Amino acid sequence: MEFFNFNKDGKIDKFRQWKSIDSSNFGKSYGGKFIGGGDNDYKGRPLVFSDRNEVEIIEKMIKAYNEMDPLGFAEPFADVTVFNDYKGKVMKVKKSEMSEFFKGYESVNWVPFAIVPLKIYNTDAASGVQVMSKETRVFKNGRVWEKELFEIFYFNLEGKITSMTQYARD
């Protein structure tokens, strides 16, 4: 519901906006808790869904990955991105080097189950997108790699992915 107040000159001089709580869930529009490392300005604040096109960016990136399109896959990343893989390996990868990811693959199939973009409530902080998925990679030598994945993609305010942290199970 929105309220517009018009002054004597017919100009809007006040505006108010309300939203109703979902009657089936009785939920809040925020929740959880950001903790972070050490003391920081955001510690203890709740989280909200972020809507800076992160879901569409992730879906487009997955589509390009499945098509083994290195330029399309690399497009949403910052010039240098930090990848933390499920084995604990940390790689700083330049955007121009991402085509190397496909070098040994015959095919890939990355299927998301959920894409959840979050940011810290009432801030202009960067966002993190949780992606739960299953990925299958078939290598040129015939080996098959298949995992269920939980990955967090960190977006900066320019909408570019600056890092990714990955967890996996067979």
- For 62-102, the pLDDT digits (tens) are 999 999 999 999 999 999 999 999 999 999 999 999 989 99
pTM, to two decimals? 0.82
| Res. 104: pLDDT tops 70 | yes
pLDDT at 40: 84
Confidence class of residue 161 from pLDDT cuts 50, 70 and 90? very high
Name the pLDDT band for 23 (thresholds 50, 70, 90).
Answer: low
Of 170, 169, 164, the C-alpha closest to 151 is: 164
* Least confidently predicted of 42-46, 83-87, 143-147: 42-46
Q: Helix/strand/coil (H, E, C) string of 75-100?
A: CCEEEEEEEECCCCCEEEEEHHHHHH
Spell out the domains of the chain, with CATH numbers in brackets.
47-169 (3.10.450.50)
**Which residue, 146, 64, 57, is CA-closest to 101?**
64
Q: Residue 146's pLDDT band (boundaries 50, 70, 90)?
A: very high
